[in-house]
Amino acid sequence: MEFDVYVENICSNLELAISIFEEKEKKQINSKMTIEEAENVYDKAFEKLSDKRDDEIAQGHELSEKTGAQLKEALLVSEQLKWLHNLSKKLVHSSKKYKSS
């Protein structure tokens, strides 16, 4: 669900950037979750895995490959989605700026 919210928002921003140049009306997003809520879900998932890793270390266990892979994956997916979302917002801003000049 969180992934879909990011993708929906990124696509919406890209469509908005196109519509600025084509002077069309923007479609509304009908998501039940905001981008901030989706970001919180990813952050909490990463924190949970990080806490699990810390517990394993505190108990003297070596970091399991599974936990390590999940931790890396959670961080990678989260950071890439945030980056793509920010990039799409900057594209909208730049499109508006370009169109108005």
Q: Where are the domains of the chain?
A: 2-100
Per the CB < 8 A criterion, the answer to whether 98 and 55 are in contact is no
Instruction: Output Rg (C-alpha) for the chain, integer angstroms.
Output: 18
pLDDT tens for each residue of 7-51:
999 999 999 999 988 877 666 666 778 888 888 988 898 899 888
pLDDT tens for each residue of 52-96:
888 888 888 777 788 888 888 988 999 999 999 999 999 999 998
Residue 28 pLDDT: 62
| Distance, CA of 23 to CA of 34 (rounded, Å) | 26
- Phi, psi dihedral angles at 83 (to 5 degrees): -65, -45
CA-angle at 5, arms to 68 and 69, nearest 5°: 5
| Distance, CA of 23 to CA of 47 (rounded, Å) | 43
Q: Please, what is the angle between helix 35-58 and helix 2-22, to 10°?
A: 140
Residue 85 pLDDT: 95
- pTM for the whole structure: 0.74
